[in-house]
Structure 1
């Protein structure tokens, strides 16, 4: 049995503005309705695979369970990191979690934001690495390159051993263009996919040997973890003591028992808008277009409107990326699309909310988006999932008007509870203890008008919450 570990953090900078810190790329519909997280979970499921272990941040704990539910899956565990500390700490707490159940179990560490065209072929590659992993080898997976890529690290493969696994001669840092061309021509080098297969106890030993400071601090934080609903919260104070590092630097480049399995199928880590463009269907001029985008005399460009109310038109563009959202527009030369994160850094310095926050805010009960925000009033659209409920709460600085536009709402205002259907409304006075619930089997949507001196999201006093939020 292989335990897939989905590493599900991320800063959301490389595919800005669609991907942001509040909702990184693995959760978005980059290449279709299914998210990259959906695809990762499905890719490593079925016969021979246990339910996935997800390592994620507190802000995404309900997102991962909701998205797994959308594809008929449930997590084996959700481990919540208090802060992201790169891949090495995430890997060791996952290994410790699996080792506590079965030290000899195989752990498959994988990012949750890759695109693989043929999942069955990748599972076959994983199967080729099982024999080596069962002997104590740490098996990584290298992608057969088809161009001199400078955005990936590379792997140098040696002679065959342990079935389908090859000796891993060395890790190679992201190269310049000249070096990448030589690596491609050499024929024995692969792109580093950042995916690892190993026995849980072998991973633990590797960390103890090569990264003892990370192992010891992470193990202490893991031992002090507590349960929160169906989640496992790693101890926050002890987690602060864990050194930050990648699993490659901390362990893999130092270990002698590392093998590599080549994968010849199509793979993409979608690390830039150029990478997304290469995955999209294009017109005869090489343009990748979203539903609301139009290209006039354009060549080899990516035009995406992520809002149905925004028509994006490109005229005479060549090798350009343009992505339009309700609150932000990004335009870049295709060759500079890996540098989008620099724009995010500038926006953060300017204090722009668009740097990290999407217009749509996802919550365990659904989502909301601000339609209008002005002095002393705000208008929101609120979407509540069937059976979901907001917390019982009150506000100190604002009153609210709710108008149901779809579905049915069960509304509590102080001691009164009533049902509202479409086109009905209710007033929530300042200070009133209130709650909205969706008792139906279809989504409930309402328009909320807030008025008051302060409209911040922290003006909430919670009395009851089924999601255990404070």
Structure 2
């Protein structure tokens, strides 16, 4: 059995803490029993390890999330990288081609696909073993995991089984699907045995490989990456699940939540105040989550979410908070903070002049022992001022040591990299046109490889 975790999302519903670069699964707002704050990704990765599944798991994601994933769970995690964002059907197809051609997974072995960020307890992962057996014994092409609902939610999709009352096995035949019904309809469906669709699919690898062959799509990973634009940009639910006839569902009676909105996420946040600030005792069911260096104070207010980050500030009634997705214009939003495999950065200031010139100022934090890639930029010049720590740098093949107080000028097209000997902080000022993260040409990632570019 192989498990594929789908990591995606635009980050709109948990703005301003989440954004296009930092989706909900990366927010470190959950607490362990020891009080450590971890993300949904870290929690699920630890749960997989506890069940003995980590070595059989990989993460399917876009290029923009790779650094964040490696920063939070380490570089040993196996990652299947989409060359561009499309949807869950092409992402799952790409992962299948990877397991088939790069990992030599047999066609009759079971592949389980699940979101990277469900809020569940450990028994949920034990059910994945049973789901594997259902695929092997039921004769179905697809087996789903369906959660027994605890209330008639309008936010979830539903799986409607056939003849639930007559079933004595671990699984049910699926009759139909219903996406986000109204509360009255959801209540009626629950009385008839409907289950929440938690986005977990299981099938033999050959089921997807045969589908790709039939559609004349590549089944070898490297070719699938090259031809990724040919894969239909659609969801796996729509393209595969709803069109499959032999499909079963295994009920799961346990805790499951989609922590995708502020009102659901705050139900699982132990502390009502995270970050600098004050919350008065008469503020009931109010959460303040503050990533800024200035304090936030809330007095006598109830049922609110107050979230502040470099991207913006949100003050909302908790029940109304899902409407943020409708109000945001994502085209105007530039992520102001990002976590990378080497550390993190925060945008301090951004200016754009009438002549098209731009100036962007960042505070970059690099962890001891970590390094930036060996890279260059087409459209910008950079000036680095080291404000803390020390390390070693290569600029156009020239090696030098740098420390607190040093100022380094990096012209456009100049190849450069840096490795931190101690934790480092750098103020970076970019000048040029189109100051975007995409203007990076990476030549090497690992320091041992980068040193080969050094001639002095």
User: TM-score normalised to the size of structure 2?
Assistant: 0.82
- Residues of 1 paired with 2:434 and 2:230: CA distance? 36
Aligned to 2:444: 465
**Structure 1 residues 413, 123: closer, same or farther in 2, change over 3 A?**
closer
Residue-by-residue CA offset, 1:323-347 (whole Å, 9 max, x unaligned): 1112301222222222221122xx2
Q: Of 222, 225, 230, which aligns to 1:234? A: 225
Count of aligned residue pairs for this structure pair: 428
SS at match of 2:70: helix
Q: Would you say 1:183 and 2:183 are equivalent positions?
A: no
Q: Residue 150 of structure 1: which of 148, 154, 157 is its match?
A: 154
The 5-angstrom pairing of residues 122-271 of structure 1 reads 122-135=124-137, 136-137=139-140, 138-157=142-161, 158=164, 163-184=169-190, 186=191, 188-205=193-210, 207=211, 216=215, 219-220=217-218, 222-223=219-220, 225=222, 234-235=225-226, 238-271=227-260
DSSP-derived class of the 2:294 partner: coil
Corresponding residue of 2:10: 11
1:262–1:66 Cα change, 3 Å:
same
Match of 1:84 in 2: 85
2:402 to 384, 407, 420: 420
Residue matched to 2:65: 60
Q: TM-score, normalised by structure 1?
A: 0.80
Which moved further from structure 2: 248-257 or 105-114?
248-257
Structure 2 unaligned regions, length at least 5: 32-36, 451-456
Q: Which residue of the partner structure matches residue 374 of structure 2? A: 391
Cα separation, partners in 2 of 1:42 and 1:463, compared to 1, 3 Å: closer
8 A Cα contact 2:345 2:362, kept in partner: yes
* Partner of residue 230, structure 1: none
CA gap of 1:415–1:241, structure 2 versus 1, over 3 A, is closer
Contact 2:71 2:339 (C-alpha < 8 Å) held by counterparts: no
Whole-angstrom distance in 2 between the partners of 1:461 and 1:249: 36
* 8 Å Cα contact 2:30/2:270 also seen in 1: no
Structure 1 residues 25 and 458: alpha-carbon distance in aligned structure 2, compared to 1, 3 A threshold: closer
d(CA) in 2 for partners of 1:458 and 1:200?
Answer: 36
Contact 1:139 / 1:198 at 8 angstroms: preserved in 2?
yes
* 2:335 is equivalent to residue 326 of structure 1: no
Contact 2:346–2:364 (Cα < 8 Å) also in 1: yes
Find the residue that maps to 2:74 and give its secondary structure. Answer: helix
* Structure 1 segments (4+ residues) deviating >6 Å: 458-461
| Aligned-partner Cα distance in 1 for 2:229–2:410 | 42
Residues 176/388 of structure 1: CA separation in 2 closer, same or farther (3 Å cut): same
- Output one character per residue of 1:290-339: Cα deviation in whole Å (capped at 9) or x when no partner: 243433333333322133x1322223333322211123012222222222
Deviation of residue 4 (structure 1)? 0.8
Contact 1:103 1:201 in 2 (8 A): yes
Task: For residue 389 of structure 1, report the CA deviation from its aligned partner.
Answer: 3.2
Alignment gaps of 5+ in structure 1:
227-232, 283-287
Alignment CA distance shift 1:95-1:395 (3 Å): closer
**SS of 2:38's equivalent?**
coil
**CA RMSD for the aligned pairs?**
3.2
> Which string of whole-angstrom CA distances, capped at 9 and with x for unpartnered residues, describes residues 34-82 of structure 1?
2222233333345366432221112123333343317xx431xx32223
* 1:447 and 2:450 aligned: no
